[in-house]
Amino acid sequence: MNDLHTTDVAIVGAGPAGLALAAALAQAGLRCTVLEQNSAESLVAPPEDGRDIALTHRARAILERLGHWDRLPADEIAPLKRALVRNGASPLVLPFDGQADGHEALGFLVPNHRLREAAYAAAAATPGVEIVGDARVTALQRDEQAATVRLADGRAWRAPLVVAADSRFSTTRRLGGIGAHMLDFGRTCIVVRMRHEEDHENTAHECFRYGNTLAILPMAGRQSSAVVTLKSDQAPEWMALSDEAFALRVEEHFDRRLGRMDVAAPRHAYPLVAAYATRFVGPRFALVGDAAVGMHPVTAHGYNFGLYGVEVLARELARAARDRRDLGDAAVLAGYEREHRMRTLPIYLGTNAIVRLFTDDTPPAKLVRGAVLKAASVAAPLRTLIARQLTGGVRRSAPA
Ligand SMILES: Cc1cc2nc3c(=O)[nH]c(=O)nc-3n(C[C@H](O)[C@H](O)[C@H](O)COP(=O)(O)OP(=O)(O)OC[C@H]3O[C@@H](n4cnc5c(N)ncnc54)[C@H](O)[C@@H]3O)c2cc1C
């Protein structure tokens, strides 16, 4: 097979970021082709993957504009009203809520497979979007006029611009000659949906214990997503536990705040590696989603950043198309690079610093952990700043 196709933008990867970009560009009148290594059937109804994604108000607004939000099952969206942070056995609890920005909720929790399902359905229903399954990109070439991506099976797509949305371990990023700062935390997070006796009151708990971290994130109904982060060499033992033994451990580590807990779905393990691309754009080339910024999940920014990036890149490309400019022009892409880097870099670095501090169990680090939480608990402006990051910085004006 050696057929050559053409499109306005070729997007590599039909994850939630690639599909969101496709819908956004098609809304702006551009033709785009999404090339995905997995089969098209696997995208239609992705299986539960254990991830429960915390979305900000800003991310929700973007999903609404893209037509994803209305496709999410309403009874699987859980508002996140409060977040409580605990440190070791300390009685000090650091609370966050969305009130500072006039919101009743900090954000919303949605199962990742539902987001992926909605992203596929919306993109597939948008005229101008072509989604090609069984399409593994293995080569990228660029010349003055266009960029060409080639698949393992010989098919090729030529476009003024190629966008890599193929995960934090992006092959296309490497093919495009862009490096990334990769940070392997040596930790793995195990995620699983659990049922429990008591009402979670839409409150998330982040418990920085000694030895491991436990997050309990409220899902719809009397269910929560349990996220256990631990040294990677300990993960196999936790994964091998029976459901009953696993549930008992989580219940005990959580001091039975939700009463009896039961495992309600298969467990999934994710090794934690953060990635930050050295550049987000190159000649006729751009990165979105985790391929640009792959976050540690503790501050729940990953897909939110993916959506913010999609919004900015789509805006720049729509403007270029209106002005009949070349979509791969360096000046067109520069605006995206500047804005997305400014928005994400401080939080990427801050998140990694928090992770390092709160997973360091040496006595000096324990002291600093306590001092940091104590300072944050008395410094209301600092808490407001953090809460604003969690809501996405969208202020809701007071009703007239
Ligand atoms: C445990 C956990 C919890 C998380 N919690 C949150 C949260 O609370 N809030 C939040 O905002 N984010 C969260 N995230 C992050 C979020 O899941 C990611 O940011 C998001 O899924 C990334 O989407 P993506 O489309 O960029 O990449 P991916 O979902 O990785 O998709 C990449 C796609 O590219 C395809 N692909 C790869 N290589 C090729 C190739 N060569 N050719 C063709 N296709 C290819 C893959 O098959 C895949 O479909 C969490 C992540 C984890 C692991």
Q: Is residue 395 part of a domain?
A: no
Task: Give distance in angstroms: CA of 16 to centre of ligand 1.
Answer: 7
Mean pLDDT of 143-155: 96
Q: Is residue 282 part of a domain?
A: yes
pLDDT in tens, 364-394: 777 776 776 666 666 666 556 565 655 666 5
What is the token pair recorded at 246?
């696993």
Which contacts (CB < 8 Å, 24+ apart) does range 44-49 have? Answer: 44/117, 44/120, 44/121, 45/117, 46/113, 46/116, 46/117, 46/120, 47/113, 48/111, 48/113, 48/193, 48/265, 48/266, 49/112, 49/113, 49/268
* Gyration radius (Cα) of the chain, Å: 21
* 334: pLDDT strictly greater than 70: yes
Spatial separation of the C-alpha atoms in residues 123 and 21, rounded to whole Å: 9
Give the Å distance between the CA of 15 and the centre of ligand 1: 6
The set of long-range contacts for 37-44, using a CB threshold of 8 Å and a minimum separation of 24, is 37/134, 37/135, 37/136, 37/137, 38/14, 38/133, 38/134, 39/133, 39/134, 40/131, 40/132, 40/133, 40/134, 41/133, 42/133, 43/14, 43/116, 43/120, 43/131, 43/133, 44/117, 44/120, 44/121
Measure 246 CA to ligand 1 centroid, in angstroms.
26
Mean pLDDT along residues 262-281: 97
Residue 300 belongs to a domain: yes
Band of residue 299 on the pLDDT scale cut at 50, 70, 90: confident
Assess if residue 121 is contained within a domain.
yes
Q: Of all atoms in ligand 1, which is nearest to the CA of residue 109?
A: 8
- The type of residue at 289 is G
Question: Amino acid letter at 281?
Answer: V
Instruction: Give the CATH number, domain containing residue 36.
Output: 3.50.50.60
Structural domain boundaries, residue 114: 4-72+109-182+274-358
- Is the Cβ atom of 185 under 6 angstroms away from ligand 1? no
* In-domain check, residue 283: yes
Domain-embedded: residue 269: no
Indicate the top mutation candidate among 112, 174, 184 to test ligand 1's pocket, ranked by most ligand atoms within 8 A of CB.
112
User: Would 55 be classed as within a structural domain?
Assistant: yes
Tens-digit pLDDT profile for residues 42-71? 999 999 999 999 999 999 999 999 999 999
Q: Into how many domains does the chain fold?
A: 1
Whether 43 maps to a domain, the answer reads: yes
Any atom of ligand 1 within 6 Å of the Cβ of 46 = no
SS3 203: strand
Q: Do 376 and 382 contact (CB within 8 A), yes or no?
A: yes
- 165 CA → ligand 1 middle, Å: 9
- Average confidence score pLDDT of the chain: 90
Alpha carbons 359 and 271: distance in angstroms, whole number: 15
Sign of CA dihedral 146, 120, 317, 174: negative
Is 83 a pocket residue for ligand 1 (Cβ < 6 Å)? no
